Amino acid sequence: MILVVVEYANGKVSKSTWEMITAARESGREAPVTALVLGSNIAPIAAEVAKAVDQVLVADLPALAQYDPELWSAAVAQIATEGEASLVLIGGSRSGREYSPRVAIKLDAPLLEDVITLKATGETITSQRYTFLARVTETIETTAPIAVVAVKPGVFNPATPRAEAGEQFDVDLNLPTPRLKVTGKTAERSSRISLAEAEIVVSGGRGVGSAEGFTQYVEALADQLGAAVGATRAIVDAGWRPYSEQVGQTGKTVQPKTYIAIGISGAVQHLSGMNKSKTIVAINRDAEAPIFKIADYGIIGDVTQLVPAILIELKK
């Protein structure tokens, strides 16, 4: 079987799960696509995902109410072994990237991380991923009876649910005791859409002038477009914006349909976090700024004049 470990949030199957199902179906491995749902009170998740896979394995246990890398890796490795999986697909979320290596070690399997293409031909699995701050595409091969694959979010087309649902089965698990104790949580939630899910991201850099400038130009444009807000490291370091908004090498990687960079010069560390965006728009005073080299559309000029003019234009 091909095992897809279901990612979900706020009671809904995450987009990354539908993307993994596509990656599984297009992998070239002739095997039923099996979804594994781990958690507590997850019947609605299992029912939702059943519409896109051949079967669903459900581990609905109080012990799984809280994600833990040791529990998740033990559960996935056990099911992969019992089901003689040939591919194990895990989402490239923070948690997925954290426990997928443990699954690979447990299964003595190779790990293909952040894959953007996946093709199995006979025994060989070929995949591609970005490396060197997303400036290089590497092609990687592996030959093994079972491989663990962490799928980069936002690359594969999400699978479409069918009318007919795959069958559901409950599974028993031998779980270890978690050792990492979570003592508190702080949600990154804001009234805005998250950077990972947004189709449009509006980001600001030093060129917005100040924290107030950021609110006045970047947040205003983001709100007008229903977009997420991003920031460069320089202005996060300056304390203008929280780290959770930072886009780049040491912040978040985003791949929206449209990325609007306001007052961002385009240091390579920032570009590595957004250069896979489908359309890039740049507004900057400096005609020599590197951001213009990777921009599809841009205006060379004063942010304080241009953004208000764009806002007026958008309201027309």
Partner 1 sequence: MRILTYIRQVLDAEESVHIANNAVALENSKLVMDTMDEYGVEEALRLRESGIEAEIVAVAVGPARVQDALRTALAIGADRAIHVETDIRLDAIALSKVLAQLATQEQATLILSGGQQADWDSHALAAATAERLHWPQVTWTSALELKGTTLTGKHDADEGSESFTLELPAVVTTQQGLNEPRYPTLPNIMKSKKKELRKESLDQFDVMPKLKFVSAEIQVKNRLNKILDGKDAPAAAAQLVDLLRNEARVIA
Give the footprint of partner 1 on residues 164-223 (CB under 8 A): 179-189, 194, 200
Query: Closest separation between CB of residue 306 and partner 1, Å?
Result: 5
Q: Which residue is listed with tokens 């009170």? A: 41
How far is the C-alpha of 75 from the C-alpha of 310, rounded, in Å?
A: 51
Classify residue 244 as left (phi > 0), alpha (psi -120 to 50) or beta.
alpha
Give the type of residue at 185: K
* 310 assigned binding-site residue: no
Beta carbon nearer to partner 1, 126 or 168: 126
* 55 assigned binding-site residue: no
Among 140, 165, 173, 234, binds partner 1 (CB under 8 A): 140
Query: Closest separation between CB of residue 148 and partner 1, Å?
Result: 9
Beta carbon nearer to partner 1, 188 or 212: 188
Which pair of structure tokens corresponds to residue 31?
């095997």
Strand partners, 243: none
Q: For 168, phi and psi rounded to 5 degrees?
A: -110, 140
314 binds partner 1 (CB under 8 A): yes
Beta carbon nearer to partner 1, 22 or 284: 284
| Residue 267: C-alpha distances to residues 38, 225, 284 (Å) | 40, 25, 13
Query: Closest separation between CB of residue 54 and partner 1, Å?
Result: 27
Query: Closest separation between CB of residue 140 and partner 1, Å?
Result: 5
| x/- letters, 10..49, toward partner 1 (CB under 8 A) | ----------------------------------------
How far is the C-alpha of 143 from the C-alpha of 159, rounded, in Å?
A: 27
* 269 assigned binding-site residue: yes
Q: Which residues in the 100-139 window bind partner 1 by CB under 8 A?
A: 100-102, 104-106, 109-114, 126, 129-139
| x/- letters, 236..275, toward partner 1 (CB under 8 A) | -------xx-x--xxx-----xx--------xxx-----x
DSSP H or E run through 215: none
* 284 assigned binding-site residue: yes
* Dihedral sign computed on CA atoms, order 245, 247, 251, 254: positive
* 298 assigned binding-site residue: no
DSSP designation for 152 = P
* 248 assigned binding-site residue: yes
Pick the stretch among 41-49, 154-162, 203-211, 281-289 that binds partner 1 (CB under 8 A): 281-289
Length of the chain in terms of residues written: 316
Q: Is 7 helix (H, G, I), strand (E, B) or coil?
A: coil
- For β-strands 279-284 and 258-262, DSSP reports them as parallel
Known binding positions for FAD: 206, 232-233, 246-250, 263-270, 284
